[in-house]
Amino acid sequence: MADKKIYLSSPTMHGEEQEFIREAFDTNWVAPLGPNVNAFEKELADYVGIAHASALSAGTAAIHLALRVLGIGEGDVVFVPSLTFSATCNPVVYEKATPVFIDSETDTWNMDPEALKRGFEIYPNPKAVIVVHLYGTPAKLDEIIEICDEHGVPLIEDAAESLSSTYKGKHTGTFGKIGIYSFNGNKIITTSGGGMLVSKEEEITQKATFLATQARDAARHYQHSQIGYNYRMSNITAGIGRGQLLHLEEHKALKKEIYKQYKEAFADIPEIGLNPLNKDGDANCWLTGMIIKEGCPVTPDNIMDALADHNIESRPVWKPMHLQPVFAECDFVTAKGSKGKGNQGADVAADVFNRGLCLPSDIKNTKEDMELIIRIIRGCFGR
């Protein structure tokens, strides 16, 4: 076993984070809000090139508030990609709305525009579409936006994994009516936990911020005319984010280099492919995914077990939402149409899950770490 643990994707701190935190302590701004929160909102918004931002406790909270701001409620249909983390679709259920899962396409592993078209044929009046940029790779935004615009349905961008990724030169998270980012501990930059809701429309972020601070009315006494949430980011957490944001481009470059190293290392093994990147985008390569050729006797479990034997962390690709027990009653739509509730048939999302895994993508990996990881994986294929 290796002397040290090699992580999938762990936080990387630099020092500036402490300066912002120290300033908060020195000025006694350790309460929930303060100058770091305001500054982090502005700095993040400036970085991605959007007008307005609201700093929140988690990316999940941002998705939840996006749905609330758009007025989505009980019985409403929301289209969500199946191949994603459950945090994308759980907030739909919080509001007693109905998630309908959309299959992936093979070019980027993201929401399939053709399946989305079929979704509109089956459910002509959804209240929103949530698109995810899986593992940092931009989805086919031109096609998805065109479909949403044709039907007059708002697009929410779950850019939790894709901060710093761009599509045709523009940052992911800034195409839809509302965008969300996550700063969870494993993301490309972290605040230990936190998220951001962004929009071109000030009214949207103002409403989100209002709901995130317990929906307290503008009165001298504590008055509430609607239900709110304790979803605001703390001043300390925002200080960490400000320090991390200074190194975002550096982190992106290192993540892309990891993807490149794996691609070059496995180029002579036809049974190995990597998660496809959108040719019209610049992915941050948050996690490098690997997919094994169909029919190959080596399985994702074989590789994950071999890495674990050396104290190296890897993990499966997200298990599609339409295969999750909690969503067994939800519909799933492919490019060929509805697969029905509880579908277990072959589709792109399930195929990627069955043949894929996520490789160690920690930017602190040394040359020796990467050589060890690559050697173990090559060994699984007899190379």
Asked whether residue 126 is domain-assigned, the answer is yes
Contacts 24+ apart (CB under 8 A), 258-261: 258/285, 258/288, 258/361, 258/363, 258/365, 258/370, 259/283, 259/285, 259/288, 259/361, 261/370, 261/374
In a domain, 5, yes or no: no
* The predicted structure's pLDDT at residue 323: 95
On whether both 32 and 153 belong to a single domain, the answer is yes
The pLDDT-based confidence of 142 (bands split at 50, 70, 90) is: very high
Same domain, 77 and 165: yes
Q: Please indicate, yes or no, whether residues 321 and 367 belong to a single structural domain of this protein.
A: yes
Q: What percent of the chain has pLDDT over 90?
A: 93
| 339 pLDDT more than 90 | no
Domain count, the chain: 2
Contact 65, 58 (CB under 8 A): no
Same domain, 191 and 60: yes
Q: State residue 86's pLDDT score.
A: 97
Give me the CATH number covering residue 197: 3.40.640.10
* Burial category of 160 from C-beta neighbours within 10 Å (exposed 0-12, middle 13-18, buried 19 and up): buried
154 within some domain: yes
CB atoms within 10 A of CB 62: 32
From CA 118, how far away is CA 96, in angstroms rounded? Answer: 23
Query: Which of 245, 276, 293 represents a domain boundary (last residue)?
Result: 245
Per-residue confidence (pLDDT) for residue 144, from 0 to 100: 98
Does residue 9 belong to any structural domain of this protein? no
pLDDT digits (tens, 9 = 90+) for 40-63: 999 999 999 999 999 999 999 999
Q: What is the pLDDT of residue 2?
A: 47
175-216 pLDDT, tens digit per residue, is 999 999 999 999 999 999 999 999 999 999 999 999 999 989
Indicate if 182 and 239 belong to the same structural domain. yes
Domain's final residue, options 210, 245, 280: 245
* Residue range of the domain that includes 368: 248-331+340-380
Per DSSP, helices labelled H in the chain are: 16-26, 35-48, 59-69, 90-94, 113-122, 141-151, 202-212, 235-245, 248-265, 300-308, 348-355, 367-380
- Identify whether residues 237 and 273 lie together within a single domain: no
Model pTM score:
0.95
Is pLDDT above 90 for 1?
Answer: no
- The answer on pLDDT for 338 being more than 80 is no
Considering the domain architecture, whether residues 227 and 345 belong to the same structural domain is answered as: no
**DSSP label of 344:** -
Instruction: Kindly state whether residue 8 falls inside one of the protein's structural domains.
Output: no
Judging by DSSP bridges, how do beta strands 332-334 and 288-292 pair with one another?
unpaired
Q: What local confidence, expressed as pLDDT, does residue 33 receive?
A: 86
Residues in the chain: 383
Domain boundary (227, 245, 263) is at 245
- Assign residue 325 the CATH number of its domain: 3.90.1150.10
Same domain, 54 and 85: yes
Please say if the pLDDT value at position 346 is more than 90. no
| Same domain? 96 vs 172 | yes
Same domain, yes or no: 154 and 209: yes
Share the mean pLDDT of the chain.
95
**6 is a domain residue:** no
Check whether residue 162 and residue 48 sit in a common domain: yes
If asked whether residues 197 and 265 sit together in one domain, one would say no
Please tell me the predicted confidence (pLDDT) of residue 32.
77
